[in-house]
C-alpha cells in the first residue's frame, strides 16, 4: 500500500485505527516530494523537519490514548500567502522573499490545534495575481498531466502538490477563481467557501472583499474534513461571520434526489471547448437520472462580471500592496531619499502583473475616475448579487464549466493579459457575489487533460456542494484521476 496515494479520509482511518503512524505517513509524502518536486516545482519552502516533529507529537499523543481530531497526523501543504510564524511567507514575490511573519494566520493555528503536519509552502502567482502560476517570482509550477502545461492559478502549487500525491490536502486562496480554476485544471476538488466563512486573518491580502481561504483535495470528503478544521468565526477578522459551523461530513452521502439544479447558460457557452460543455452536460444528466430537478438559468450580468472584477480587485490591491515600501520588512532597494527608496523598492520588488494591477487600481480610485470606474463596478457587483439571489429562489445549485478550456500551454497566454483574465470568466461572478463555489472533476479530455465542473450554492450551503460532489465521486474511482507524470527524460512516475 502506497500511503501517498491515499486520500486524507483513508489516511485518517488508518491513523485512527493505528494501522500506520503519522511519521510513516509523513515520510511517504516526503519521499514522493523528493521524487516528483524537481519536475513540477509546486513548493517554495519545504518543511520536512517541522512535519516530522508534528507527526511524532501526534503519534505519541495518540498512542497515549488521547482523543484527537480525525485529521490529526494527516499532512497538509499551505499556499505561500498564508502567514506562518517563524517560517518565511513570500507570496511568491521578490519583495517578500525573506519575510518571516512573527505570527500565525488563524487557519494555521487551527491546523496546528488539529495536529496536521505542515509539509511546506506552495508556489503561486505573485500575490495571487494570475491564473497559471507563471507569475511566481521564483519559477512556474508545471501541470503533472502534461509538464508543458500550466496547472492554473493562482493556487497552482497547492493543486499540483495534491494532484501528484506530494500531499493529501492543501490550502489555497480564491479571490476570483484561484482555488477552483487550478483544481479544475489538475483534476481536483477545490472549494471556495462563502465570504466570511473562513478567517482571513493572516492571509496576505490581494483584494480584501474577495479573498477567501479554502481546501484543495482529491475528494469532496477530504475537503469537507478540512473545512471542519478551518471554518468558523474569528474575533480577529471583522468580516468573519458568526454563523454556526455544521459538520460538513454529516450529509455527504445523502444523494441528489430532489435537488434543484440550474445550468448557467453563460457557463456552458458556445465559445467554450466543446469537450468541456459535453462533460458538464453529461454530469448534469447523471444528476437528473438520480432524481435531481434540472433546468436552465441565465445570469445576464455575468458578462459584466469580469469588467467589474478587474476594477474592484486591482483597486483594493493597489491599496493593500502600498505597505511594501521597504521601511519595515521585505525587500529594500535603497535610494538617495525616501521617494527614490519607495519607487526603486517597489519598482524592483514587484513583478510585471502585480505592477499592472496596482496601476489599474490606482487609476480606478483616482479623483475624477472613481465614480466612473470603482463606484460603477460596485454597482454592478450589487446587481450581480441580486442576480444570484433571484436564481437561488429557484435553484439549490447552479452549475457550469469551471474553465472555458482545459490546461493551456506554459507561455501561451502570459503575454496577453486579457486572454489570461478570461480563463477565470466562470469563477468571478461567484466571488463578487460572495457565495460558495466548488470545482469537481467531470471528465478527461481527448488529450488526456482533466475537465472540471463548477457548482455554486447560496451563502453557507457549502455542505450542499460537497454532497453533490461526493455523489459524483461515487460514480468513479477518485484515485484513478491521478496523473501519471511523464518525465522529460522518458518514463512515468
Partner 1 sequence: MKYEVVIGLEIHLELQTLSKLFCGCSTTFGREPNTNCCPVCLGLPGSLPVFNRRAIEMAVTVALALNSCIHPQSRFDRKNYFYPDLPKAYQISQYDRPLSGGGFLQIEFDEEVRNISLERVHLEEEAGKLIHSGESIMGSEYSLVDYNRAGIPLLEIVTAPNLASGREARLFLEELRSVLLYTGASDCKMEEGSLRCDANISLRPAGQKELGTKVEVKNMNSFRSVELALNFEANRQEELLSAGGVVVQETCHWDEEKKETIPLRGKEGSSDYRYFPEPDLLPLVLEDSFINQIAATLPELPASRRVRLKEQYGLSGSEAVLFTVNRPLGDFFEAAAKLYSDYKNLSKWVRGDLLYQLRESGKTAAETDPQKFAELLTMLDGGEINRPVAKELLTEMVLSGKSPQKLVREKGLEQIAGDEQLLPLIEQVIAENSDAVESYRQGKDKALAFLVGKVMAMTGGRADPGRLNEILKEKISRG
- Residues annotated catalytic, as ranges: 79, 154, 178
| 338 touching partner 1, by CB under 8 A | yes
Identified binder of partner 1 from the candidate list 315, 332, 427, 458, rule CB under 8 A: 315
Residue span binding partner 1 (CB under 8 A) among the ranges 130-138, 174-182, 253-261, 367-375: 367-375
Q: Residue 322, Cβ neighbours under 10 Å: how many? A: 12
| 405 touching partner 1, by CB under 8 A | no
Q: 144, 152 in Cβ contact below 8 A?
A: no
CB of 343 to partner 1, least distance (A): 9
Closer residue to partner 1, CB minimum distance, 168 or 361: 361
- Find, among 321, 328, 325, 329, the residue nearest to 341 by Cα: 325
- β 76-79/397-401 pair status: unpaired
Closer residue to partner 1, CB minimum distance, 136 or 315: 315
Contact code string over 27-46 relative to partner 1, x by CB under 8 A: --------------------
| 432 touching partner 1, by CB under 8 A | no
Q: In the structure grid, which three cell numbers stand for residue 233, read together?
A: 468565526
CA dihedral 460, 463, 469, 473 (to 10 degrees): 160
With CB under 8 A, what is the number of residues at the site for partner 1? 45
CA dihedral 303, 304, 310, 316 (to 10 degrees): -140
- Find, among 192, 185, 217, 212, the residue nearest to 404 by Cα: 185
| 371 touching partner 1, by CB under 8 A | no
Identified binder of partner 1 from the candidate list 55, 74, 179, 204, rule CB under 8 A: 204
Identified binder of partner 1 from the candidate list 80, 146, 222, 325, rule CB under 8 A: 325
| 206 touching partner 1, by CB under 8 A | no
Closer residue to partner 1, CB minimum distance, 327 or 390: 327
Distance CA 207, CA 186 (A): 25
Burial pattern 324-339, b for ≥16 Cβ within 10 A else e, equals: bbbeebbbbbeeeeee
CB of 431 to partner 1, least distance (A): 13
CB of 367 to partner 1, least distance (A): 5
Name residue 173's beta-bridge partners: 213
Identified binder of partner 1 from the candidate list 116, 365, 399, 431, rule CB under 8 A: 365
CA distances from 12 to 2, 9, 76, 302, 463 (A): 15, 5, 13, 40, 20
| 272 touching partner 1, by CB under 8 A | no
| 201 touching partner 1, by CB under 8 A | yes
Identified binder of partner 1 from the candidate list 12, 318, 427, 456, rule CB under 8 A: 318
Contact code string over 71-110 relative to partner 1, x by CB under 8 A: ----------xxx-----x-x----x--x-xxx-x-----
Biggest CA-to-CA distance, the chain: 71
Distance CA 198, CA 191 (A): 12
Contact code string over 226-255 relative to partner 1, x by CB under 8 A: ---------xxxxx----------------
Distance CA 456, CA 459 (A): 9
- Find, among 198, 179, 199, the residue nearest to 189 by Cα: 179
Closer residue to partner 1, CB minimum distance, 228 or 315: 315
| 367 touching partner 1, by CB under 8 A | yes
| 319 touching partner 1, by CB under 8 A | yes
Closer residue to partner 1, CB minimum distance, 285 or 340: 340
Q: 162, 216 in Cβ contact below 8 A?
A: yes
| 366 touching partner 1, by CB under 8 A | yes
Distance CA 136, CA 132 (A): 9
| 56 touching partner 1, by CB under 8 A | no
Closer residue to partner 1, CB minimum distance, 236 or 352: 236
Q: 485, 456 in Cβ contact below 8 A?
A: no
| 209 touching partner 1, by CB under 8 A | yes
Name residue 260's beta-bridge partners: 293
Q: Residue 88, Cβ neighbours under 10 Å: how many? A: 15
Identified binder of partner 1 from the candidate list 16, 148, 246, 329, rule CB under 8 A: 329
Q: Where do contacts with partner 1 occur on this chain (CB under 8 A)?
A: 81-83, 89, 91, 96, 99, 101-103, 105, 200-205, 207-209, 235-239, 315-316, 318-319, 322-323, 325, 327-329, 337-339, 342, 362, 365-367, 370, 374
Amino acid at each position: 500500500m502506497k500511503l501517498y496515494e491515499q486520500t486524507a479520509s483513508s489516511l485518517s482511518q488508518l491513523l485512527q485505527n493505528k494501522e500506520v503512524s503519522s511519521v510513516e505517513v509523513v515520510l511517504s509524502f516526503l519521499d514522493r516530494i523528493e521524487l516528483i518536486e524537481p519536475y513540477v516545482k509546486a513548493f517554495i519552502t519545504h518543511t520536512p523537519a517541522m512535519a516530522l516533529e508534528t507527526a511524532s507529537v501526534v503519534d505519541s499523543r495518540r498512542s497515549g490514548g488521547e482523543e484527537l481530531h480525525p485529521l490529526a497526523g494527516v499532512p497538509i501543504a499551505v499556499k505561500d500567502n498564508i502567514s506562518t510564524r517563524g517560517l518565511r511567507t513570500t507570496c511568491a514575490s521578490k519583495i517578500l522573499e525573506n519575510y518571516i511573519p512573527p505570527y500565525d494566520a488563524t487557519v494555521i493555528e487551527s491546523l496546528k490545534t488539529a495536529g496536521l503536519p505542515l509539509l511546506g509552502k506552495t508556489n503561486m502567482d505573485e500575490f495571487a495575481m494570475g491564473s497559471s502560476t507563471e507569475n511566481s517570482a521564483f519559477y512556474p509550477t508545471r501541470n503533472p498531466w502534461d509538464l508543458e502545461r500550466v496547472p492554473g492559478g493562482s493556487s497552482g502549487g497547492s493543486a499540483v502538490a495534491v494532484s501528484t500525491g506530494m500531499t493529501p490536502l492543501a490550502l489555497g486562496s480564491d479571490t476570483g477563481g484561484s482555488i477552483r480554476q487550478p483544481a479544475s485544471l489538475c483534476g481536483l476538488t477545490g472549494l471556495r467557501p462563502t465570504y466570511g466563512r473562513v478567517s482571513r486573518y493572516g492571509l496576505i491580502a490581494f483584494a480584501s472583499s474577495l479573498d477567501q481561504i479554502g481546501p484543495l483535495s482529491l475528494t469532496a470528503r477530504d475537503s469537507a474534513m478540512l473545512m471542519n478544521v478551518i471554518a468558523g468565526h474569528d474575533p480577529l477578522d471583522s468580516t468573519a461571520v458568526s454563523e454556526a459551523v455544521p459538520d460538513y461530513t454529516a450529509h455527504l452521502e445523502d444523494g441528489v434526489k430532489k435537488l434543484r439544479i440550474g445550468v448557467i447558460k453563460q457557463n456552458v457557452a458556445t465559445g467554450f471547448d466543446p469537450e468541456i460543455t459535453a462533460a458538464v452536460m453529461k454530469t448534469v444528466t447523471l444528476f437528473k437520472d438520480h432524481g435531481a430537478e434540472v433546468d436552465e438559468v441565465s445570469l445576464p450580468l455575468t458578462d459584466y462580471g469580469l469588467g467589474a472584477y478587474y476594477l474592484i480587485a486591482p483597486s483594493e490591491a493597489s491599496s493593500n500592496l502600498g505597505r511594501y515600501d521597504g521601511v519595515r520588512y521585505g525587500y529594500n532597494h535603497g535610494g538617495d531619499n525616501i521617494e527614490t527608496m519607495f519607487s526603486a523598492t517597489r519598482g524592483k520588488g514587484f513583478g510585471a502583473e502585480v505592477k499592472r494591477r496596482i496601476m489599474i487600481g490606482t487609476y480606478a480610485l483616482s479623483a475624477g475616475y472613481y465614480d466612473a470606474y470603482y463606484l460603477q463596478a460596485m454597482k454592478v457587483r450589487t446587481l450581480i448579487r441580486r442576480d444570484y439571489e433571484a436564481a437561488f429562489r429557484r435553484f439549490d445549485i447552479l452549475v457550469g464549466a469551471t474553465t472555458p478550456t482545459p490546461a493551456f500551454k506554459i507561455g501561451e497566454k502570459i503575454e496577453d493579459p486579457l486572454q489570461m483574465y478570461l480563463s477565470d470568466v466562470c469563477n468571478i461572478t461567484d466571488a463578487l457575489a460572495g457565495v460558495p463555489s466548488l470545482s469537481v472533476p467531470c471528465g478527461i479530455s481527448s488529450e488526456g487533460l482533466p475537465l472540471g465542473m463548477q457548482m455554486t450554492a447560496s451563502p453557507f450551503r457549502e455542505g450542499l456542494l460537497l454532497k453533490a460532489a461526493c455523489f459524483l465521486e461515487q460514480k468513479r474511482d477518485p484515485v484513478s484521476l491521478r496523473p501519471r507524470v511523464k518525465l522529460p527524460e522518458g518514463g512515468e512516475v
